[in-house]
Structure formats: C-alpha cells, structure tokens
Amino acid sequence: MEKIQTKIETGDCLEILNHYPDNYFDLIITSPPYADSRAKTYGGVKPEKYVEWFLQRSKEFLRVLKPSGTFILNIKEKVDEGERHTYVIELIMEMRKQGWRWTEEFIWHKKNCHPGKWPNRFRDAWERCLQFNKSKNFNMYQDNVMVPMGDWAKTRLKTLGKNDIVRFNSKVGSGFGKNISNWVGRTMAYPSNVLHLATETSNKSHSATFPRMLPEWFIRLFTKEGDIVLDPFLGSGTTCEVAKELKRSSVGIEILPEYVKIAKESVKEDQFVLFEKRGKYERKIKKGHNKIRRTASRRVSSKTA
C-alpha cells in the first residue's frame, strides 16, 4: 500500500502555501473562521473586509489545487443588523472572477441545531457547503457515498420480476425508463445535495468544529486512497484525522498554537496506534465504517418506519 502522510503546519495559510507547488492537492475542504468570529484568534476579520481577506487565500487555493480537484467551502453568513450579510454571495461572485467554477451548493442540514428564540427569526439549521472547481471535469467517486434506498423499493421492486414492465412516457421523459428490471434487487441509491448530519456535541475544547461526517463524506466523494487533502483552516484537526483514517494524505494549516497542539496530538496518537497496535487500528477503521453504515441505516429505517 502506498504510504500516506499527515502534516500539520502552524501559521497563516497565505504564507504557508507559498511552499507548496502548483496542482498539488486533490481536495481542499475547510470551514474558515466566519467573519467577526474567533476575533481573538484570527484578528477578527470584519464582514466588510471578509471577501478581500478570503480572496487572497482562495487565490492560493486555486493555484495548489489539481485541475481534477475540488474545493469545498463550508460557510454561513452571519446576521448583521437584522439582515443576512452578503459576504458569502459576494465571495462566490468574486471567486468566479478569480477563475473558480461554482459547480454546486450542498446544504448541510444541522439536525440538532442550537435551540433559541428570537422575535423575528427562527433557529438557523443549515449551512452552505459550496463546491468550487478549476475545470468542468473533476474526479467524483459517487459510489463511495451511496445510501440505502427508501422502503418503497422493497415492496415495489420486488414484485416487478417480469422482464418488460414499460412506462411509455409520451410527453415528459421522466419517471422510470424502459428497463425497470435493472432496478429489481437494488438496495442503494445515490444521495442528493442535501446532507442531514447532526452537529457534534463533542467534548473537543474548541469552537466551530464541524462533525466528522462532513469532511468524511466529501473526502470519500472527491478523493481515492492515497490522494492528498488540504484543510487551510484546520482548527483542532478533524479533517486530518478523518483523512488519515480514510488512508488519504493530508496537510492541515492552523494559525492558533493551541489548536495546532490539539491537532498534532490527535494525529500522533493515531500514528502510535497505526505502527504499534495494528489490530486496534483495524478495529478503529472498522468502527468508522460501521458508524457510517449505522448512520445511514438509521436514516433509512427512519424513512421506512
């Protein structure tokens, strides 16, 4: 098996990435400090300055990303003076001018978002996962993220054993095609662009951690084993941890020493386990897979009960 590397660097990604060559990463995935948040750690970028601040860095991301690669940006605009701020949509416009293609916008539906009540606003239960690419053709491994089919399939497809059940679509070319027999016995379906993930209420001592499932899903979708992933705003190291479990190399960049420390410890622990207790590592991987499967099956049973 190919050897994978996990590297965590301390500093501003704008500087650190200077040392990396063009077309180097297969996937960039990150959840950057939102405007005005983490004021003490990142200098508190003001919403008005956010686009400018980010564009300098996204220019570097564009350079180090492979043409076949993908950039996933998890972000959500803050409320400012009772309005949604426009820095995110401005950023999309400006990144396109920079050369990025805005391929898709995934929705992360936060199933257990924070409770709260305001007179003119409901709880914010979703975030954007913006997909940007350098070219029209990029790598996408859809089979890696298939989900169990809805229960309707069990009852319906089961009975369609006869070879030619044909739906004549006279006007609209939608619905089942002519070869429904292809579908008999299928149990998995491709997902949509809406992700239902709970936020992690974990104990990790830092803010704004995204749940492991989020980077995991995108890493599985847009990379294969041995590929190399970048998270330029690593935080406490989730992306690198997940990448490593999935046998992808990764580079994480984080400006705040406390976070770097946490991140390095997680990864170091993994290395220890990897080299000295292989059995346990295997179990860990398996556990990860089971976790995914369990989640998926929970979703399905939820759909079918």
Q: Which stretch binds its own copies (CB under 8 A): 40-48, 138-146, 245-253, 283-291?
A: 138-146
Say whether residue 105 binds its own copies (CB under 8 A): yes
234-to-42, 148, 163, 217 alpha-carbon distances in Å: 13, 31, 53, 17
142 interface partner picked from DNA, its own copies, none, CB below 5 to 8 A per type: its own copies
Q: 51 near 86, Cβ under 8 Å?
A: no
Residues 6+ apart with CB under 8 A from 206: 235, 236, 258, 259, 262
Say whether residue 177 binds DNA (CB under 7 A): yes
Tokens of 211: 């749940």
Strands 228-231, 249-254: pairing kind: parallel
Tokens of 147: 């989900």
Q: Rank residues 196 and 247 by Cβ distance to DNA and give the closer one.
A: 196
Say whether residue 189 binds its own copies (CB under 8 A): yes
Count of all residues that appear for the chain in the document: 305
Say whether residue 172 binds DNA (CB under 7 A): yes
Q: How many residues bind DNA (CB under 7 A)?
A: 64
86 interface partner picked from its own copies, DNA, none, CB below 5 to 8 A per type: its own copies
109 interface partner picked from its own copies, DNA, none, CB below 5 to 8 A per type: its own copies
- Ramachandran category for residue 247: left, alpha or beta (phi over 0 → left; psi -120 to 50 → alpha): left
Distance between CA atoms of 69 and 65, rounded to whole angstroms? 6
Pick from 14, 16, 55, 107: which binds its own copies (CB under 8 A)? Answer: 107
Work out how close the CB of 15 gets to its own copies at its nearest, in angstroms, rounded to a whole number: 31
How is residue 78 annotated by DSSP? P
Say whether residue 162 binds DNA (CB under 7 A): no
Q: 205 near 179, Cβ under 8 Å?
A: no
Work out how close the CB of 136 gets to its own copies at its nearest, in angstroms, rounded to a whole number: 5
Say whether residue 89 binds its own copies (CB under 8 A): yes
Say whether residue 141 binds its own copies (CB under 8 A): no
Q: Which stretch binds DNA (CB under 7 A): 21-29, 147-155, 223-231, 245-253?
A: 147-155
Question: For residue 9, which amino acid is it?
Answer: E
Say whether residue 164 binds its own copies (CB under 8 A): no
**Burial, 171: exposed, middle or buried (Cβ in 10 Å; 0-12, 13-18, 19+)?**
exposed
Task: Summarize as ranges the residues that interact with its own copies (CB under 8 A).
Answer: 81-84, 86, 89-90, 92-93, 96, 101-105, 107, 109, 113-115, 117, 119-126, 136-138, 140, 142, 174, 189-194, 301-305
